[in-house]
Structure 1
Amino acid sequence: MLYRIRVNAMTWLEEQGAELVIAGCTEISVVLKKLKCNALIDIDPLDILANLTLDLAFGHQDIPIVI
């Protein structure tokens, strides 16, 4: 039932003209990965943070210094 509610919510967002969904909570990230919302672009901050952390840890990217 919860899955259907989430699918309905994503469908409604698409119908309203949404082109992008930012997954601001952990559970939203998980749901977006399970849904096949081809029309919507999803941005997962947790995925971005994890990739950046690994890039910094392995020296693939320098830590930005802001003055």
Structure 2
Amino acid sequence: VGPRKMSEQYCYLALFAERINLGFYYGADLPDPAGLLEGSGALMRHIKITTAAQLATPAVHDLIAAAARHLPRLKG
């Protein structure tokens, strides 16, 4: 038994040949001043990562931190 989707996780990785998608289950609720998040669904958003350098940017770190802080509020 692992984590329940959308309730015990705040992000995910989807691997593709040319990129990795770093996704956020509640990405639509996150602040994104750099405009990195893609997607148009009600909740989920993702970033397309094509280089390791992208992961080291402050904007990506800020999104991950915001997503981690957001999760406890969802659990009550």
Q: Same fold (TM over 0.5)?
A: no
TM-score range, shorter chain: under 0.3
The higher radius of gyration belongs to 1
TM-score calculated relative to the size of structure 2: 0.25
Query: Quick check: which one's helix share is greater?
Result: 1
Query: Quick check: which one's strand share is greater?
Result: 2
TM-score calculated relative to the size of structure 1: 0.27
